[in-house]
Structure 1
Amino acid sequence: MSITDIGPRPQSFDLETETLENTNYRTVAWSGTYLQVTLMSIPVNGDIGLEKHPATDQFLRLDRGRGRAQMGPAKDELTFDQEVTDGWCILVPAGSWHNVTNIGDEPMQLYTVYAPQHHKPGKVHQTKTDADNDTDDEPAEWSVQPRAAEDEHA
């Protein structure tokens, strides 16, 4: 990969190429004051993990693979259930429980845009386990964060 998170400075890069070349579960590609871009690679049968961001809207786009997007008002009430493939986007409203599962036969490559920033700038997690166990993955102090409840994970 050739992308480096340079923080809230002007940046441009080939997003599709970087997304397709990313082999990490999560790579933070750019961190702005109000939003953030991360690249993700979800292994076959893997998932992002059921979670809820009370004050974060999220945009995800698949560049390779096949997935199942689920969302709803409660972790046991996922009323939205949609198969998604290359080129599809998933729009997650703040406060929605959501998960995306790889149901294909190859790694699912996607990128996500958080608003506001959600992860430590430049953070790389090689696996979901690394991400789940990371205790140092907070947005930058210089980012604008809403005053809201903490994220929840199932």
Structure 2
Amino acid sequence: MTVKDIGPEPQSFDLESATLENTNYRAVAWSGRYLQLTLMSIPVGEDIGLEAHPETDQFLRLDAGRGRVQMGPTKDQLHVDQEVEDGWAILVPAGTWHNVTNIGDEPLRLYTVYAPVHHASGKVQATASDAQHDEQSGTDEPPSWSVQPAQQPPDGHA
């Protein structure tokens, strides 16, 4: 199943099937004015990477695999350390350092809702390295129709 990001237009699709079929590290499935939906696939033994989004809340839901989520107020104080699996939700308040690691024996399939929009509309990144490159090169910016905070500090990465 391929989902095309049609921007801030009404959209509907089978989210669970799309999440389970996604093999890309990250694929933006829908970008609205105030929030965004991405599909993710984290390979065995890999992780999202320790990060913090100062002005972005996140909701993540696992649809396949097993993971370990770590969260906290600083990159050195990750007081939440929880194993998660299919059906679990992870709620990340803005500014919280967080990481999700695949500790299972299959790809970790999940989707993420960002508010406000965090990535370029329709952006597909096959690997975490591609995502890092796009962020560093400035080719993964939110679309102009999205509503962004007036002063948005840069994301933190460990």
TM range (shorter): over 0.9
The offset of 1:141, in angstroms, is: 1.4
- State the match for 1:79 in structure 2: 79
Letter in 1 for 2:153: A
- State the match for 2:63 in structure 1: 63
Q: TM-score, normalised by structure 2?
A: 0.96
Identical-residue share of aligned pairs (%): 73
**CA–CA distance in structure 1, aligned partners of residues 101 and 76 of structure 2:** 16
**CA–CA distance in structure 1, aligned partners of residues 2 and 126 of structure 2:** 16
Secondary structure of 1:49 counterpart: coil
**CA–CA distance in structure 2, aligned partners of residues 152 and 119 of structure 1:** 15
Per-residue CA deviations over 1:74-121 (Å, capped at 9, x if unaligned) read: 101101111000000000000100000000000000000000000000
- State the match for 2:40 in structure 1: 40
- The aligned length equals 154
Letter in 2 for 1:153: H
The offset of 1:12, in angstroms, is: 0.2
- State the match for 2:146 in structure 1: 143
**CA–CA distance in structure 2, aligned partners of residues 2 and 97 of structure 1:** 31
**CA–CA distance in structure 1, aligned partners of residues 117 and 101 of structure 2:** 23
Letter in 2 for 1:18: A
Segments of 5+ residues of structure 2 without an aligned counterpart are none
The offset of 1:2, in angstroms, is: 2.1
Segments of 5+ residues of structure 1 without an aligned counterpart are none
**CA–CA distance in structure 1, aligned partners of residues 2 and 84 of structure 2:** 28
Are residues 1:152 and 2:123 paired? no
Secondary structure of 2:18 counterpart: helix
